[in-house]
A and B are shown apart, each in its own frame.
Chain A
């Protein structure tokens, strides 16, 4: 009898019930949030609005504009770099001081990032403060005024940024310049050193007036419901217009920068397909097969190229830079100066002559899908991806579409793509101690 009593639910559940009741009094401030998958709307003025309600306690909103460095003119080269740096200075509604203190008070953050195609202003905050923060974001992005004295005061930051550009970044910039020459994609995201002096309010204003237009803007968010975001986007004051069109011309060539040191960094690439092309997914799979970095810290690079490089005593990874109309597919190599020649030979041989098997392609597909899902899992990179797609293509596709596209890739597709790439005209950039690094025509 006693044992039966011990097993009785009532006796055991009483203390448990008390603790549960204690915890239950502190319920969520928001009730139960509905979960929304990716929803997109295109407003009549051309702004693309995309949102995912992922029940996150943090909301993130970004205003992405198709106004990256490729749309700079020869007169305002370096404007996007300076725009990144002056984001958050005095605008039409807030002073720099006021904006900073307001954001700090709310525990929010505001950031600006840019690449060749897209300029993104993003802000995040807890949900209860998000409406104020979105207001501040709109001011910072769309109502910028450039006070000459503030620009002058912040120029040393620009100079520091340019002079401390890491070698790997410079390498990729050189590769784009070699590949696309002086046409739009050859414009670097880093301001040219000799043009820092002439960058000022006029250059920034001219860049924004050409590119900050309704038809080139996307407003994206996570942790926010779609109606709120649409209403917000409708309230943004953006002028109408077409703006500059992409005009990349792939030329091919090489750029060598001898700066000595113990290491040689080399990048080689061929022209690839654009973001909306049918072969974009195949390129992603090819990149994963060839090897895109290590999964294990300090591990040797994986994939075909990584293995070839590790055997020769260096490191290599596949490169896949995708833009709306074109791209670059190839590899980057890092090696000690003495061994660089052998490593590049080995990697190049692997790049050109590797025969891909079904197992390789399956591995590539799994890796590519994991990369897509990983980016989607992180709300910061998720918003960035939506912004880049919305601003550069005018539409945002769901992760499931990307996964389906990767699943549909066949071995023959990847083999055809690979053959076409290695047969095309290559571009090369090299930086560091280049005494053993071969020239492009010697590869």
Chain B
């Protein structure tokens, strides 16, 4: 799980190196996928994807379709087209956080 940085045991620079290494070792970037494309689509993620602006949704759909095609033909993208650590933006994060906040609010209210 390539998560956000809480330094914990390691210093800032070392943490960054570890994150990059883990990212490249995961392998989804070789299929041209971004981190948020790989999230398991539970109800919260589905709602967050529904709220994405049309352009981001289309880009996501394209990347997933391309990855599925590559997977079924047992191929990966040429090295130049692999997603890099720096260009991988967590586009779904703000929407997902909003959905989670709303669900927490609903749970709070139903407790009363």
Could you list 14 A-B pairs, sorted by A, with CB under 8 Å? A95-B102, A95-B105, A97-B102, A97-B105, A97-B106, A97-B109, A98-B105, A98-B109, A101-B109, A147-B51, A148-B51, A148-B53, A149-B50, A149-B51
Contacts of A149 in B (CB 8 A): 50-51
Given A97-B102, A97-B106, 8 extra CB contacts under 8 A? A95-B102, A97-B105, A98-B109, A101-B109, A147-B51, A148-B51, A149-B50, A149-B51
Bound: A95/B102 CA distance, A: 8
Which residue of the partner chain A has the closest CB to B47?
Answer: A149
**Chain A residues within 8 Å of B, Cβ to Cβ:** 95, 97-98, 101, 147-149
Contacts of A101 in B (CB 8 A): 109
Bound: A208/B53 CA distance, A: 23
Contacts of B50 in A (CB 8 A): 149
Which residue of the partner chain A has the closest CB to B112?
Answer: A105
Contacts of A97 in B (CB 8 A): 102, 105-106, 109
Contacts of B106 in A (CB 8 A): 97
Bound: A205/B54 CA distance, A: 20
Q: How far is the CB of B7 from chain A (nearest CB, A)?
A: 33
Query: How many residues of B are in contact with the other chain, CB < 8 A?
Result: 7
Bound: A149/B46 CA distance, A: 13
Bound: A101/B51 CA distance, A: 23
Q: How far is the CB of B37 from chain A (nearest CB, A)?
A: 20
Bound: A147/B51 CA distance, A: 9
Contacts of B51 in A (CB 8 A): 147-149
Bound: A97/B102 CA distance, A: 8
Bound: A98/B101 CA distance, A: 11
Bound: A148/B55 CA distance, A: 13
Bound: A147/B102 CA distance, A: 14
Q: How far is the CB of A149 from chain B (nearest CB, A)?
A: 5
Q: In residues 26-74 of chain B, which contact A (Cβ within 8 Å)? A: 50-51, 53
Bound: A95/B109 CA distance, A: 13
Q: How far is the CB of B54 from chain A (nearest CB, A)?
A: 9
Contacts of B105 in A (CB 8 A): 95, 97-98
Q: How far is the CB of A422 from chain B (nearest CB, A)?
A: 56
Which residue of the partner chain B has the closest CB to A94?
Answer: B105
Contacts of A148 in B (CB 8 A): 51, 53
- Cβ contacts B69-112/A at 8 Å (1 or 0 each): 00000000000000000000000000000000010011001000
Q: Nearest 8 CB-CB pairs, A to B?
A: A149-B51, A101-B109, A98-B105, A95-B102, A97-B106, A95-B105, A97-B105, A149-B50
Contacts of A147 in B (CB 8 A): 51
Which residue of the partner chain B has the closest CB to A149?
Answer: B51
Bound: A149/B98 CA distance, A: 13
Q: How far is the CB of A151 from chain B (nearest CB, A)?
A: 12
Bound: A101/B105 CA distance, A: 11
Q: How far is the CB of A146 from chain B (nearest CB, A)?
A: 13
Which residue of the partner chain A has the closest CB to B106?
Answer: A97
Bound: A98/B53 CA distance, A: 24
Q: How far is the CB of A139 from chain B (nearest CB, A)?
A: 15
Bound: A380/B42 CA distance, A: 46
